[in-house]
Amino acid sequence: MGSIRVAIAGVGNCCSSLVQGVYHYQNSGERLGLINGEVGGYGVDEIEFVAAFDIDRRKVGLDLLEAIFAEPNKVPLVAELSPLGVTVKMGTALDKLEYDANGVVDVAEIVEVNVSDVLKEERADILLNLISGSALESSGFYAEAALEAGCALVNATPSPLVNGEWSGRYGEAGVPLVGDDLLDQIGATVVHIGLLEFLHERGVRVDESYQLDVGGGAESVNTLWKTRGLKRDIKTSAVSDAVPYEFPLVSGSTDYVDFLGNSRDSFFWFKGRYFGGAPFTMDVKLNTADAPNAGAILLDVIRGVKVASDRGLGGAIAPICAYGFKRPPERHSIAEAYKLFKEFVEG
């Protein structure tokens, strides 16, 4: 069916895990950890990385293979790779960096490339927006560049692109757009939603609940500063829609702990009533490696977006947004969203 030519903005931990994962599955032939072996006829073998952009001097100018292991990335080696022939180019740095003292980013002092021209030259099918969640203006820049290049955009960040003006513009151009804010494979938000859906389906009334995160990755820094309110609103909204009534609910990150590295601890608490009004409380702790949590969903989303492009669709692709993101235009239960995604990619 041909290759899926992917460009990446933001060569951080998620990028490292994704790139390593793609070549691991291509070379090993195994499926452990994948949700779908094929999506719309596309396997993992069809995915090819053709361009990358970042702003950190420790990454810009390096081959993508070297850049994904450069500081401050913390993802361990999981796949033996040869140089990929993709040089990381200087992207844009439009946003004030409120956390640079933590060593998360060291901006290169060189002129940014014309991203749109690079996407055209490399014939990129899809641009993945994996930049810092706090870089809201830069996300808009990459959305504009992808649109100008006629390149589909996957917005894994909380920046309101699908839920902003961009859906209409991408629709008019006939270019697919999906987002916003990636929903991890086994992340805190999807686990919280799943537990609430389960409790509701079992006739349980939830009276109070919270989910709080502590992590050592760059995303934990982001949610502690500029995007704290935005991320908490997105996560809480996504979780609250899991049941058809309102109750006191909090969902979001609480602290950055550098020695946790690329891991995250998530704490869940539920209080409610079941048969005869009998009370219950439940405490759950989840520990995950942050970066790999994005991989399986991104692989499905990338292939789903290519299917949409093959069909000549443009604008927000609702089934993909509902399946893979915390803030889609139309929200569904986890099971219903997956069903809609499968129906879409299978035609």
**Interval 244-282: pLDDT, tens:** 999 999 887 667 787 887 788 999 999 999 999 999 999
Q: What is the pTM of this model?
A: 0.93
Whichever domain contains 165, its CATH number is 3.40.50.720
- 193/339 same-domain check: no
Q: 86 with 138, same domain? A: yes
Q: Provide the pairing of β-strand 205-215 with 176-178.
A: unpaired
* Same domain membership, residue 210 and residue 152: no
Residues 222 and 168 in one domain: no
Residues 175, 73, single domain; the answer is: yes
- Looking at residue 250, which CATH number applies to its domain? 3.30.360.10
Domain enclosing residue 252, as ranges:
188-290
Give the rounded percent of residues in the chain with a pLDDT score beyond 70. Answer: 92
Q: Do residues 238 and 154 both lie within one domain? A: no
Does residue 13 sit in the same domain as residue 162? yes
- For the chain, the distance separating the N- and C-terminal CA atoms, rounded to the nearest angstrom, is 16
* Contact between 324 and 293 (Cβ < 8 Å): no
In this predicted model, what pLDDT tens digit does every residue of 217-250 receive, in sequence order? 666 555 554 445 666 778 788 898 899 999 999 8
Residue 82 sits in the same domain as residue 45: yes
Domain boundary (290, 317, 335) is at: 290
Beta bridge partners of 284: 268
How crowded is residue 42: how many other Cβ atoms within 10 Å of its Cβ? 23
Does one domain contain both 123 and 141?
Answer: yes
Q: Residue 279, preceding bond cis, omega within 30 degrees?
A: no
Positions of the chain with pLDDT under 50: 99-101, 225-227
In 10 A of CB 252, how many CB atoms?
22
Same structural domain, 26 and 66: yes
Residues 86 and 198 in one domain: no
